[in-house]
């Protein structure tokens, strides 16, 4: 089976030639508009090549390195080559500045453009007779370094996004569809809902669907972060892009195109990456004001040095250095790169971020409220305890109960049969089976009449039930055996919604983070207390109707708690919306909980502390980048202006560009160090 891009998954080619979109959210224009990574790379190398003769012909460089090159018209040759570098190498910055001014989003491209314009036109004026020094070499090296910096930046951002886009490549180009009991290979794009396909061991599952034949283990780690292969058998759902490991599966296609899991994941992550977070808004505002501060500082620097020295060339050089070194380049990259990396890592680990602000607020969470059924518990009946009476042991009691329940479709019957199967108990045959509506069932097993009775029905048999058995939590059933017209209580079983194993670890990790854990449930006090005691949580609300859950969340907020609500996204929608951070659990391919800030694909409560710790780490990286980017400018601008000139410390525009680019690289390295730790 060939691997390739599934046409059902709508995605862009994220290779070297990808061009940035013209307009971003809220009308903000991208500073790299119309230019690809390859374009910046080409302009950098061409400009770098022409920089060599510019350096050789520059008087300052000749004097510095002790050589002399001169010929008639050499200055005009120098001007011609510099003009080529100015227009070809500087074109992205000139166009970027035009777009910023046109759309009133003045920023770093305006600063760069202003710096290279000052350097070029001043140098051209000197060649044509204006008194001063030529520093075309600084113009060329400045453009080279800026092109290199932008090339590195674009590769960093694209590299983060490409990790997500690779998900779409998990879908094979073709697969085997079953037609007239034969497996025929067709292109994945031709699949229709309702088709049955065959997936052999080692092949990727080409589409979402559910198993209609066969059993196997499926590896979904690339999609959900779940490292352990998952058992798939009749009726289980599968996700397109996962790997079938050891058995053949027949799968009924359900969910193609935009309905597929991968399409939804990619759409949600793109939405999250494009959304404006509060931290990003702060960075944008800082960059905006920094631009004006830099322009003002550059103009003031020019006049001060011109007045002090009377040397216009030196004054222009100081101004150019201020404008270059103050470019809020690192500030512009500080948040978007962290956003791109964090949302991609989150998606690859089964955490789908819908609302960036909610995700960034994870570090403020002081209380997590869990819905009980299906979140902390498995969401279905399970055998909790077996109580033997009259000499029957547990397995014998379970054997007889399973024999009676094997003809019933009731949830209690399914729980009894599951437990018997788990213990490898052979189920006996039952005769004369009869269901007593609302009260129990009865039948003949091995020549004896047996009854599975509810507590109320058990009283009709005139048997004594110990007080301990009467007060068991959850649902209780009794096994009554009739022997020679005597009714004997053989034992009792209490069934309850079983607490998930992952819930214990989830609560433990949350408490280690200093977070309080509460539970909401519509169940009675006894059932709620049982789960609460088992998990050792801080508190619970029992007997809460769906429309009352929102009020309970509000009560905790009024006590000063910053609340995260974890629920299924349907009947918990009001509570999820009310919470400071809404976390929806999504089973399998259901990733469209509209009211949640974050969706847990695996429906695993252990992912809640993981989400909170990763949210804290992400926010921490954003703050670190902001501190570095703004702190750098606080020190760099006065230095560029020449505040230490009296001590012989002066920065050239080219060195200023190096320092500015270095700050950008530092921000990128810091962002890329972000990891998610399970």
Distances in Å between the Cα of 345 and the Cα atoms of 75, 242, 268, 340, 352 are: 54, 18, 13, 9, 10
Q: Of 539, 559, 562, whose CA–CA distance to 616 is shortest?
A: 562
Bridge-partner residues for 445, per DSSP?
Answer: 448
- Asked if 202 and 243 touch (Cβ cutoff 8 Å), the reply is yes
- Residue-wise burial string across 575-588, b where 16 or more C-beta atoms lie within 10 A, e elsewhere: bbebbbbbbbbbeb
| Calpha distance 143→44 (Å, rounded) | 8
- Asked if 598 and 345 touch (Cβ cutoff 8 Å), the reply is no
Residue that is written with structure tokens 């080219």 in the block: 654
What does DSSP assign to residue 606? T
| Calpha distance 404→398 (Å, rounded) | 10
Q: Please tell me which residue in 39, 284, 371, 572 is annotated as part of the active site.
A: 371
Residue that is written with structure tokens 């509000």 in the block: 554
| Calpha distance 572→547 (Å, rounded) | 8
Tokens standing for residue 595: 């009211």
Residue 384 has, within 13 A of its CA and on its CB side, a CA count of: 21
Distances in Å between the Cα of 62 and the Cα atoms of 65, 627, 655 are: 5, 40, 18
Helix (H, G, I), strand (E, B) or coil at 3: strand
Which helix (H) or strand (E) covers residue 112, if one does? helix 108-127
Strand 486-499 and strand 377-388: pairing? antiparallel
| Calpha distance 83→77 (Å, rounded) | 10
Helix (H, G, I), strand (E, B) or coil at 678: coil
| Calpha distance 600→608 (Å, rounded) | 8
What does DSSP assign to residue 19? B
Query: Angle of helix 261-274 relative to helix 329-348, nearest 10 degrees?
Result: 160
| Calpha distance 609→365 (Å, rounded) | 11
To the query of whether residue 533 is one of the catalytic residues in this protein, the response is: no
Bridge-partner residues for 564, per DSSP?
Answer: 368, 581
Strand 598-600 and strand 581-585: pairing? parallel
| Calpha distance 328→667 (Å, rounded) | 12
| Calpha distance 498→543 (Å, rounded) | 18
Sequence-separated (6 or more) residues with CB below 8 Å from residue 10? 258, 263, 266
- Asked if 104 and 284 touch (Cβ cutoff 8 Å), the reply is no
- Asked if 10 and 258 touch (Cβ cutoff 8 Å), the reply is yes
The set of catalytic residues is 371
């Amino acid at each position: 089976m060939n691997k390739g891009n599934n046409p059902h998954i709508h995605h862009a080619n994220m290779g070297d030639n990808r061009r940035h979109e013209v307009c971003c959210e809220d009308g903000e224009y991208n500073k790299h508009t119309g230019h690809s990574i390859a374009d910046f790379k080409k302009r950098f190398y061409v400009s770098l090549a022409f920089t060599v003769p510019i350096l050789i012909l520059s008087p300052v460089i000749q004097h510095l390195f002790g050589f002399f090159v001169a010929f008639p018209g050499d200055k005009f040759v120098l001007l011609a080559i510099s003009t080529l570098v100015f227009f070809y190498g500087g074109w992205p910055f000139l166009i970027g500045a035009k777009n910023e001014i046109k759309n009133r989003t003045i920023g770093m491209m305006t600063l760069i453009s202003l710096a290279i314009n000052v350097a070029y036109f001043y140098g051209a004026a000197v060649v044509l007779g204006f008194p001063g020094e030529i520093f075309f070499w600084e113009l060329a090296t400045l453009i080279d370094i800026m092109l290199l910096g932008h090339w590195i930046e674009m590769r960093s951002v694209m590299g983060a996004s490409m990790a997500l886009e690779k998900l779409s490549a998990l879908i094979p180009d073709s697969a085997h569809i079953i037609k007239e009991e034969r497996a025929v290979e067709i292109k994945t794009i031709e699949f229709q809902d309702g088709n049955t396909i065959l997936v052999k061991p080692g092949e990727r599952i080409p589409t979402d669907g559910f198993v209609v034949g066969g059993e196997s283990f499926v590896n979904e780690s690339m999609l959900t972060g779940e490292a352990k292969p998952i058992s798939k058998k009749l009726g289980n759902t599968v996700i397109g892009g996962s790997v079938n490991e050891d058995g053949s599966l027949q799968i009924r296609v359900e969910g193609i195109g935009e309905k597929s899991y991968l399409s939804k994941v990619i759409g949600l992550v793109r939405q999250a990456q494009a959304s404006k977070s509060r931290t990003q808004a702060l960075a944008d505002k800082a960059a905006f004001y920094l631009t004006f501060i830099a322009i003002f500082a550059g103009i003031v620097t020019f006049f001060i040095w011109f007045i002090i020295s009377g040397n216009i060339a030196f004054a222009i050089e100081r101004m150019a250095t201020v404008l270059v070194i103050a470019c809020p380049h690192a500030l512009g990259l500080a948040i978007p790169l962290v956003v791109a990396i964090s949302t991609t890592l989150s998606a690859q680990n089964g955490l789908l971020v819908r609302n960036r602000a909610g995700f960034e607020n994870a570090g403020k969470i002081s209380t997590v409220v869990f819905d009980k059924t299906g979140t902390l518990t498995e969401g279905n009946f399970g055998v909790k305890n077996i109580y033997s009476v009259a000499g029957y042991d547990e397995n014998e009691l379970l054997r007889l109960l399973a024999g009676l329940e094997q003809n019933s479709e009731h949830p209690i019957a399914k729980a009894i049969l599951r437990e018997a199967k788990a213990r490898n108990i052979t189920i006996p045959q039952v005769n004369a089976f009869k269901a007593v509506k609302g009260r129990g069932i009865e039948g003949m097993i091995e020549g004896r009449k047996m009854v599975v009775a509810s507590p109320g029905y058990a009283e009709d048999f005139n048997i004594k039930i110990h007080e301990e058995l009467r007060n068991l939590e959850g649902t209780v059933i009794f096994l009554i055996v009739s022997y020679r017209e005597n009714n004997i209580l053989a034992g009792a079983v209490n069934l309850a919604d079983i607490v998930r194993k992952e819930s214990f670890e989830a609560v433990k990790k949350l408490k280690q983070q200093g977070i309080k854990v509460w539970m909401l449930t519509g169940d009675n006090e006894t059932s709620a207390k049982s789960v609460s005691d088992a998990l050792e949580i801080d508190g619970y609300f029992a007997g809460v109707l769906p429309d009352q859950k929102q009020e309970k969340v509000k009560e905790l907020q009024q006590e000063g708690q910053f609340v995260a609500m974890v629920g299924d996204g349907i009947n918990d929608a009001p509570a999820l919306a009310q919470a400071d951070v809404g976390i929806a659990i999504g089973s399998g391919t259901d990733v469209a909980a509209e009211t949640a800030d974050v969706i847990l694909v695996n429906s695993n409560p252990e992912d809640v502390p993981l989400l909170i710790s990763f949210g804290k780490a992400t926010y921490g990286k954003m703050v670190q980048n902001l501190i570095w980017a703004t702190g750098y400018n606080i020190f760099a601008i006065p230095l560029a202006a020449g505040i230490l000139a009296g001590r012989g410390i002066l920065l050239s525009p080219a060195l200023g560009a190096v320092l500015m680019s270095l700050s950008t690289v530092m921000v990128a390295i810091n962002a890329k160090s972000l990891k998610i730790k399970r």
